[in-house]
Structure formats: C-alpha cells, structure tokens
A = this chain, B = another copy of it.
Amino acid sequence: MSKIAALTDHLGYWLRQVSNHVSQSFARKLAAEDVTVAEWVLLRVLYDEPSMAPSRIAETMGFTRGAVTKLADRLIAKDLVVRAADPEDGRAQTLALTAKGRQCAPKLAALADQNDAECFGYLTNHDRRALRQILEDIVARLALDSIPIE
C-alpha cells in the first residue's frame, strides 16, 4: 500500500500552470489587435522572409500543413498575408506578409515584450537566465530525440 503522486509532484504540472497563464495573458493582449497567438507566430516567421512555402512554415512552427492552411486563410481574410502560386512548381504556394501585415508586426512584438515583462519582470536576472537556459536545453534535447537513429 503506497500513496500515489500528487498533481504538484510533477514538473509538467507546474509548467502547464505557468505556460497556460502566460499564453492566455498574451492572447488577451493580442485580441485587442484581432490576432491570436498562433497567428502572431506565423506573422513573425514571415516577417524575416520575403516569402515562404506553407510546408516550410509548418516545419518551422511544428504545425501540420492543414493547420498552416487554416491559419493562413484567417490571416488572408484580415489582409495581413497574401498567398501566391509558385511559378516554378505548379503544386507549390508561397505565403508573404502584406504591407498591412508588415506594419502590424512591430506592434504585436511590443505586446509580446510587454507580456514577458509583466509575467517574468519581477524575477531576478539570475532566475530569468536560469529558466531560459533550462528551457532551451530541454528544447534542444527534444530536437535531438526527433532525429531518427542512424
């Protein structure tokens, strides 16, 4: 006879609590600009490229191609993104920011800055660096795990 683990015994639990709060706080800020968190990610990815294929975006963002299509449809409806045919490959499409999308990005980035400051600003520099380093290490490890064994 033994006691079973409590919810609070798992790092995953604490991570979920904090991450959900931070993301929801960010989502509320973005909602004022009529943008969701996933839409912001796609806009930010496109901000660094003149144009990008949906399949490459899906790979970069860790989304499925279907999800990128749906996301792009919404952003196109808001005139933040344009879809164009690839002249070299009849199957391929490319996505790019519109002028409005490019103009909108800095405002959204400022909201992301503000949200991070509100959620983590009171931490010491030491704790912020430690948290970031551990999280980056975990992500790097995940990337390794997803590489097929040679």
Contacts and interface: CB of A to CB of B under 8 A. Distances in A.
Interface in A1-40: 4-7, 9-12, 14-23, 26, 37
Interface of A is mostly: helix
Given A15-B15, A47-B4, A116-B10, A131 B132 contact: no
A113 interface: yes
A11 B116 contact: yes
Contacts of A79: none
A106 interface: yes
Interface in A128-146: 128, 130-132, 134-139, 141-142
A109 B135 CA distance: 24
23 contacts: A4-B106, A7-B44, A7-B45, A9-B113, A10-B115, A11-B132, A11-B135, A12-B19, A12-B26, A12-B112, A12-B120, A14-B132, A15-B15, A15-B18, A16-B19, A16-B22, A18-B139, A21-B142, A120-B138, A122-B141, A123-B137, A130-B131, A131-B134
Contacts of A16: 19, 22-23, 37
Interface residues of A, number: 49
A105 interface: yes
A140 to B, nearest CB: 11
A11 to B, nearest CB: 5
A119 interface: yes
A109 B23 contact: no
